[in-house]
Amino acid sequence: MGIEIGKQLLYLSKADVAGLGVTAKEMNDAIEAMFRAKALGKTTMRPKLAMYPMGRMFLAKAGVMHEPPYAAVKWLGYVKGNEVRGLPDFYPLIVLNEAETGLPVCVMDGTWLTGLRTASFSAVAAKCLAKKNARSIGFVACGLQARTNLETLRVDFPIERVVAYSRREATAQKFAEEVRAEGLDAKVVTDPRAAVEGLDIVVTSVPEKEGFKSFLDCGWLSPGSFVSMVDVGRSWHAESIGKLDKMVCDDLEQSGPGSPERTNFTGPFHAEIGEMLIGKKPGRESERERNGLIFSGMGLGDVAAGLLVYEKAQARGAGHVLPL
C-alpha cells in the first residue's frame, strides 16, 4: 500500500501493528543496526522532553536516522488513575517522517512496539556482555517486559530455565505457566534474591511507585552473569551497582551521569551499546565478569522500530491511508 508523500499518510492502529507479525529477531536486528549507526555518527537525537503540568506527565522522545533517512517522535500523556474512567494510563503514538522531504508518512500505535523494542535493547547489549551459552534467566517483576525480554533474549541464547519473582506471587505464577507452555522450565520464588543469584541473565523491570525503596544487591549476582536494568536501576541499591565489572547504557547524554533521566547509577560507564558493537570498546572479556546495562529508552529506538513496522505494513497493505 503506497502513499503519496505530502498528500497522504498511513494510520496503523493497535490491531494493525499487532497483526503484522513482527518477530523478535526482526526487532533485534533493527535495534542493533540503529545502535551501530549511532556509534558511527549516522544518527541525530536529543534526550527526551518531559513536562509535568497539573499532576500529569507528557513525554516526547525523538530521533533521526540518516541511512535510511527517517525521523520519528513518540508522544504520550500519562495520567495515573485513568482506570476509574475505563481508560489506559497512557497510550503512546509514533509519528514517522521521511527525512529527505521532512514530511510525515505514518502515525502508528506505539504500545506493542515500545514493549518489544525496549526488550531488544536488553538482547542487543546481552550479545556483547552475557555469556554466549547463557541458559538461565531470572526476572524480578513479571509483567510485559518479562515476557518481551524472554522473547528477544531467546533469539541468541539457549535459554532453558526461568526463575520468576513478583511482588504479587499470582503474577509470577501466571508468567511461569506461560513459560512452561513454551517448553521451558520455570520456577516461582518468594525471595527476590533467588531470582538474582546463580543465574546467567537477570532482568529487572519493577515499576515506579510512591515511597519505593530499592531491595536488590548486585553482590548477589554470580560470576559470569549479565543484568539488564529495564527499570532504570530503581530496584537495585545504587552503591552496589559499582561492584559490577562493566556497566553500559544506551546513550550517555540521556542515561549517563547528570542526565535528565536520573537513572540509579552515576558511573563510571564502560561504554554505550553501539561502541561495543562496532569494536570501539570491548564487550565481555572473561567468563567471570559480572556486567550490566542500565537505560531509559532513547527515541532512536522508536525510529528504528517504527520504520520496521511501517515498511512491513507497506509490504502487506495494512492500515488505513488518510489525507493530509
Catalytic positions are: 74
At 119, which helix (H) or strand (E)?
helix 111-129
Distance CA 146, CA 203 (A): 7
Please provide the DSSP assignment of 59-84 as one string.
EEEEEEETTTTEEEEEEEEE-TTGGG
CA dist list (Å): 53 to 57, 58, 59: 7, 8, 11
Cβ(24)–Cβ(151) under 8 Å? yes
What is the torsion angle, in degrees rounded to the nearest 10, for the CA atoms of residue 152, residue 155, residue 156 and residue 157? 80
Distance CA 54, CA 108 (A): 27
What amino acid is encoded at 75 in this protein? W
Closest by CA position to 222, among listed 197, 191, 247: 197
Rg (CA), the chain: 19
Cis peptide before 323 (omega within 30 of 0): no
Cβ(122)–Cβ(275) under 8 Å? no
Rounded to an integer, what is the distance from CA 236 to the centroid of its chain? 18
Cβ(147)–Cβ(171) under 8 Å? no
